[in-house]
Amino acid sequence: MSDAMHRPGALNKLRGKVIDYATERMNLDPAPLDSPRTLEELTKEAGQTITEQGLGGERALELFAEVLAPATISIDHPNYLSFIPAAPTEASSLFDLVVSASSIYGGSWKEGAGAVYAENQVLEFLAKECGLPAGSGGVFVQGGTLGNLSALVAARESAKQSRGAKRWAVIASVESHSSLKAAAKVMDIEIVTGPCVDGRFTEAGAREAISSALASGLTPFAVVGTAGTTNFGIVDDLAGVGKVAKEFGLWFHVDGAYGLAGILSPNHRHLYRGVELADSFIVDPHKWLFAPFDACALVYRNPAIARAAHTQHGDYLDTLTETGDFNPSDHAFNLTRRVRGLPLWFSMATHGVELYRKAVASNIDLAHEIANEIAARDYLQLVRKPELSVVVFERKGWSKVDYQKWSDDLLDSGFAFVVPSSHEGKPNTRFAIVNPTTKYSDLVQILDSMR
Ligand SMILES: *Cc1c(COP(=O)(O)O)cnc(C)c1O
């Protein structure tokens, strides 16, 4: 029968098994770190999985549980310290299941009003936390890359209203994220970078970059400050950079994909002075707001500007866009969208903001404690004093090859995932701490393994 895949209840037994699997995964304490396998190994063990007749749900689930899932690294493992990890709360993971089961279209108010209302409360909370005025708003998009692109498209669209340009440019720092370059490529514009002082973009750096852009015949339209650089977790001098942006009549965008969550910690709020000047900002719940992949909160001071830039028009859409309703999709480069802000909403509604403040603060405190331990060990050297929850350090005398071998051994042993990195051509490694279950004693054990 052609409706065999859709009849409610037809898969009751399988439903139980899938939900049991999800429950078991959430009960693992911790989930095994696991490790990647080669294509040859997976081909041998999993074989051809897409067939005309299907494998049957139980076999497919078994394949996933026994072969495929162990070949994926558990990003929420407490000793996954590479890149920027993720550590979803149980409440947020649970609600991701609900979102999946609920078939909600999150692009328009008409179709998703209840869910959009909840998402918008989270965006309003974030806007308020950053000192943006009432009326600010935006949308949860897939990730920071798309958030940055969408904000910059809105910024340029807005600049076009008042001036023309032979060649548009965005001003950013040498420590800003690679996604800005990716956005510039898509937009066919230039990125002009200014220098940092101790990893921080300052008023002087922003001025220097603007002058150099103007001297090259470019027309800057936006300045980007980073609230928590990816490599070092340093917050730019947002007050200084924002001031320069305003002085030149440029859009001020704050890229806080990783680090803007740190503003929730009362003891670290002061680091973000100047974020209230932002015309737009992003922060990724899947990085440091303890939500599952994937979500980026994109907020505009004046959402109407974003709508003018992003609203799609078509005969089939006018019934949605001509209502005057708040349609999330009109604020970014997207149309159909999952209500990917709901897992964060549910978790925040469940636990309250105070627990988030404590969890974020505990990550920063742990990073500073382990940095002190690193500084005290004669075979290690801090590359820079940490500010938020990223600690970058060197093992004296090690080459890139030594770091890689040590890193591979750590992963093979199932204890930790810490990859080599580098700064100014010198190899190093880093701990990015966003998981409240990461233990000081485990970090010490990792340092011991480098002796
Ligand atoms: C991670 C990151 C991004 C990109 O975010 P994705 O969600 O990975 O697309 C942008 N900016 C900064 C500062 C980041 O750390």
Atom of ligand 1 lying closest to residue 144 CA: 5
Tokens 């429950």 sit on residue: 23
Contacts of residue 65, defined as CB under 8 A and 6 or more positions apart, other chains included, come to: 21
- pLDDT for 294: 97
Of residues 323 and 206, which shows the higher confidence score? 206
- Banded pLDDT at 290 (limits 50, 70, 90): very high
Closest CA to 172 of 253, 118, 233: 253
Cα–Cα distance measured from residue 25 to residue 297, given in angstroms and rounded to the nearest whole number: 27
- pLDDT for 2: 82
CA of residue 419 to ligand 1 center, whole Å = 18
Cα–Cα distance measured from residue 279 to residue 252, given in angstroms and rounded to the nearest whole number: 5
CA of residue 13 to ligand 1 center, whole Å = 40
Per-residue pLDDT, averaged over 287-307, amounts to 98
230 lines ligand 1 (CB under 6 A): yes
| Predicted confidence (pLDDT) at residue 377 exceeds the cutoff of 80 | yes
Q: pLDDT digits over 33-55, tens only?
A: 999 999 999 999 999 999 999 99
Contacts of residue 153, defined as CB under 8 A and 6 or more positions apart, other chains included, come to: 187, 309, 310, 333
253 lines ligand 1 (CB under 6 A): no
Angstrom CA distances, 445 to 410, 415, 448, stand at 11, 10, 5
Q: Which residue's CA lies nearest to atom 3 of ligand 1?
A: 144
DSSP for 86-97, please give it: ----HHHHHHHH
Percent of residues in the chain assigned helix, strand, coil, to nearest 5: 45, 15, 40
Q: pLDDT digits over 177-219, tens only?
A: 999 999 999 999 999 999 999 999 999 999 999 999 999 999 9
Angstrom CA distances, 37 to 21, 70, 417, 420, stand at 22, 9, 15, 20
pTM for the whole structure = 0.98
SS3 106: coil
| Predicted confidence (pLDDT) at residue 322 exceeds the cutoff of 90 | no
258 lines ligand 1 (CB under 6 A): yes
CA of residue 297 to ligand 1 center, whole Å = 12
Cα–Cα distance measured from residue 157 to residue 122, given in angstroms and rounded to the nearest whole number: 26
- pLDDT for 333: 98
219 lines ligand 1 (CB under 6 A): no
Q: What is the DSSP letter of 275?
A: G
Per-residue pLDDT, averaged over 242-256, amounts to 98
Per-residue pLDDT, averaged over 347-376, amounts to 98
- Banded pLDDT at 319 (limits 50, 70, 90): confident
CA of residue 282 to ligand 1 center, whole Å = 9
| Predicted confidence (pLDDT) at residue 256 exceeds the cutoff of 80 | yes
Q: Which residue's CA lies nearest to atom 12 of ligand 1?
A: 257
| Predicted confidence (pLDDT) at residue 389 exceeds the cutoff of 90 | yes
Q: Do residues 132 and 254 touch, judged by C-beta distance below 8 A? A: no
| Predicted confidence (pLDDT) at residue 301 exceeds the cutoff of 90 | yes
| Predicted confidence (pLDDT) at residue 420 exceeds the cutoff of 90 | yes
Cα–Cα distance measured from residue 318 to residue 336, given in angstroms and rounded to the nearest whole number: 15
CA of residue 80 to ligand 1 center, whole Å = 18
- pLDDT for 324: 87
176 lines ligand 1 (CB under 6 A): no
- On the CB side of 58, CA atoms within 13 Å amount to 5
- Banded pLDDT at 320 (limits 50, 70, 90): confident
What is the average pLDDT value for the chain, to the nearest integer? 97
